[in-house]
Amino acid sequence: MTEECAICNGTGWKIVEKDGISGAERCQCAIDSRTTHVLEAARIPPLYEKASLENFLLPRDNQAAHDALSSVLSVVKRYVRGYPHADRPGLLLIGNPGTGKTHLAVAALRGLIQRGYEGIFYDYQNLLDNIRSSYDPSSGNTDKEAYRTVLDTDILLLDDLGAHRVTDWVEDTVTAILTYRCNNRKPLIATTNLVDPEAGANVSERSGTGVQVRTTLAERIGMRARSRLFEMCRVVRMPSVDDYRIKRSRAS
Ligand SMILES: Nc1ncnc2c1ncn2[C@@H]1O[C@H](COP(=O)(O)OP(=O)(O)OP(=O)(O)O)[C@@H](O)[C@H]1O
Ligand SMILES: [Mg+2]
Ligand SMILES: [Zn+2]
């Protein structure tokens, strides 16, 4: 809402006539200012400041990759359009590095904020560091805000789930967060590049030097957190497309 708005004179409300009856409606300037405000509060990292569903590009040089990525994009668009979802309120994007998981997760959050919902972005590793330091009296940090926020926020975007060494403390903390959100049907949008058999991944993979066993999601976050994750999220498995970061650096 701005003082200068000519439509509502800064009140944030405008009078609309419908079938001869006049009523008040939110002015576009108020809607825009709310969106800006909520987007700022969502703390989307600058690198993804512009990431949206509209600028998610489909590869043109590879038809199979194009089609696979296009269907992933449709799932995310449908998720945003159909939100809130009664059955599985969240979204889990799983796949290799550089395939666009964080881009799509941010784009979904942005789309939901534009639709009037609220949410917040958290990098998994960062979040755990924050929570840990708030428990450590020697750090002088008595701020329990991060923990409270991830429990309370409407939509939580947890980026790079499982990207952390495993300790009992990490496992307990993640389990507590997911359990709380799951029990309260609070949506979680998560990304991970760990593999999981539930998402159709081969846990062992052939590489140049033989068969390599990959770290699974369960190994990093524990069985209980993993179970809740699948209970509350629709799973989007990223296709095996080229790493966009490498592709982009080649092109420039
Ligand atoms: N299809 C795409 N169209 C446009 N930009 C893309 C696309 N895929 C990825 N990008 C961009 O490439 C960069 C890497 O993508 P992103 O961070 O989403 O990958 P990721 O799957 O989350 O990788 P990681 O597992 O390493 O976190 C970002 O800047 C993102 O905006
Ligand atoms: Mg990412
Ligand atoms: Zn106005």
**Top-confidence residue, 66 or 207:** 66
Q: Give me Rg for the CA atoms of the chain.
A: 21
What does the block give as tokens for 112?
Answer: 């939901």
Distance of CA 244 from the midpoint of ligand 1 (Å): 6
Whether this model's pTM surpasses 0.85: yes
Q: What are 7-49's pLDDT values in tens digits? A: 999 999 999 988 889 999 999 999 999 999 999 999 999 999 9
State the pLDDT confidence band at 185, using cuts at 50, 70 and 90. Answer: very high
Rounded distance between C-alpha atoms, residue 108 and residue 117, angstroms: 11
Q: Which ligand is nearest to the CA of 239?
A: 1
Rounded distance between C-alpha atoms, residue 58 and residue 73, angstroms: 9
Q: What are 142-163's pLDDT values in tens digits? A: 557 888 899 999 999 999 999 9
Give the per-residue pLDDT at 142. 52
Distance of CA 97 from the midpoint of ligand 1 (Å): 8
CA distances from 23 to 13, 16, 102 (A): 10, 5, 42
CB half-sphere exposure, 12, CA atoms < 13 A:
6
Pocket test for ligand 1, best of 103, 194, 214 (most atoms within 8 A of CB): 103
Rounded distance between C-alpha atoms, residue 93 and residue 190, angstroms: 6
Domains recognised in the chain with CATH numbers: 1-41 (no CATH), 43-251 (3.40.50.300)
**Top-confidence residue, 203 or 101:** 101
Show Cβ contacts of residue 138 under 8 Å, excluding neighbours closer than 6 positions: none
Q: Which ligand is nearest to the CA of 15?
A: 3
Neighbours of 155 (CB within 10 A): 23
